Chain A
Amino acid sequence: MSSYTGGRAGLTGAERTIEADSWRIGETTLTSRFFLGTGLFPNPYVQMEAIEASGAEVLTFAIRRVNLDAAEDDSILQHLQGHSFIYLPNTSGARTADEAVRIARLSRASGLSDWIKVEISANERTLLPDPIETLKATEILVKEGFTVLPYISDDPVICKRLEEAGAAAVMPGAAPIGTGLGLLNPYNIGLIVEESTVPVIVDAGLGTASDVTKAMELGVSGVLMNTPVAKSKDPVRMAEAMKHAITAGRLAYLSGRMAKKRYASASSGLDSFKLQ
């Protein structure tokens, strides 16, 4: 039953569902559920192609000192001129709330965005977020009028606390940053989705398209990825794969999956009509 032909030519019912399935972060309406990171790509050309293939509307960045000995080593922003993206800078490198707040203020002073991904890691080996410092920074930055999207552990309790502190979304990790291990605790991500009144974005640790689909099937609003796209052998194609994976998982979530059963049940009707 996929032969919807009314309405806009060339669009299937599923495509129309996805097109109408917009969502919001703060005051901003988004259509894409893909937040794409901008690090680690082999070169700016591949990166631009991958951004295009991803359909992402939100791009993440880090804030670093300008290299004064190579000012020509220009930021990726020059390649993005003429496009309209929402910039989501992060506070990576911060180990405390104070450091994150400083980076956020500097970022806003650039005039490019008042969105900020709070990312505070004290442990170099795991880069896992420090939940206490993250909550402190979120409280301060919300009061200063930032749109705050904290990267946080997959813990429903801290996610709720961040929401209460005014976070515009919560971004629990699937696994540690850059590991590609996929969803380590789908149960917790599911609980976070159930309890959250702000969008939930799975950030970090995803590895491939099936990880993304599984995350979306849990009902998260979006995913944030960088390494699995940038470090694949073909980042442009992988960006497209991830886009389809998001769509697949989202449609499956909206459709409501069948209940799991322990034993087989035939799909061809009653026993009484079987040939004897």
Chain B
Amino acid sequence: MELIINGSLRELEAENLAEVVGLLGLTGKPVAAEADGQIVSSEEWKQMAVRPGMRIELVHFVGGG
């Protein structure tokens, strides 16, 4: 299905947010997620079903002051 991840359209076959994170190679990394504007803690990723057109944001810590 088509998902909008970090602002870009992506074609991924996934049922839930945990699978999306896995398909992107980010499992186990300190990543935080938002789905359609709602913050989803990593414990809830499996329960968070994804729908076509869902807007997902995946963020992490980078260098900064």
Contacts and interface: CB of A to CB of B under 8 A. Distances in A.
A158 interface: no
Nearest to A113: B61
Given A65-B59, A106-B59, A107-B32, A71 B26 contact: yes
B47 interface: no
A47 B63 CA distance: 10
B30 A204 contact: no
A76 B30 contact: no
A40 B64 CA distance: 8
A60 interface: yes
Given A61-B63, A62-B64, A90-B65, A68 B30 contact: no
A109 B40 CA distance: 7
A16 interface: no
A75 B58 contact: no
Nearest to A71: B25
A60 B62 contact: no
A241 B41 CA distance: 41
A68 B7 CA distance: 11
28 contacts: A39-B65, A47-B63, A60-B65, A62-B64, A63-B62, A64-B59, A65-B6, A65-B7, A65-B58, A66-B6, A66-B26, A66-B59, A68-B10, A68-B24, A76-B62, A77-B30, A77-B60, A105-B39, A106-B39, A106-B57, A107-B61, A109-B32, A109-B42, A110-B32, A111-B41, A177-B65, A226-B64, A227-B65
Interface of B: 5-8, 10, 24-26, 29-34, 39-42, 57-65
